[in-house]
Amino acid sequence: MDKKQLITLCLDIVNGKLLDVQNAIDGYKIDLMSETKSSAGDKHETGRAMLQLEMEKLGQQHQTILMQKEVLSKIQVAVSTKIALGSLVVFNGIYYFIATSIGQVKYSKKTVMVVSVNSPIGVLLLGKEKGSKLVFNGKRFVVQDVL
């Protein structure tokens, strides 16, 4: 598997999420500006407050996605024998890409779980090598490969 292409795929996914969140924020800004004061003043204020809360949530999502993009941009494609940020790991026939929390992606006709170094599986895998034995969710596994 070409990790450079996998990183590009992950960046495309993250950029898509970033665009979706930015479009939602822009839509809420328009809604907020078009909120007109009516005779039902409390209803108007409640509507504005709800829009602002949604914008705050989207703002937090925006920051999280920007951090994901930053993590992906820092990944080196060099192969290491020890599992670290940017490692592609195979155990129990499943591919794990240690990067950022994106989840399951299809790449090169395979399913790859893109996980953060801070996720439970990421923390467990960090520093391990090919042949390392580990227990995850009560099951025993052996690291089959580190790419």
If you count them, how many residues does the chain have?
147
Cα dihedral sign, 137-143-144-147: positive
Q: What is the tens place of the pLDDT at every residue in 80-92?
A: 889 999 999 998 8
In this prediction, residue 42 carries a pLDDT of 60
Tell me which of 105 and 34 has the higher pLDDT.
105
H or E element that contains 77: none
CB neighbour class for 85 (10 Å; exposed up to 12, middle 13-18, buried from 19): middle
The pTM assigned to this predicted structure is 0.84
Mean local confidence (pLDDT), 63-79: 92
39 pLDDT exceeds 50? no
Structure tokens at 75: 């990944």
Structure tokens at 98: 């240690």
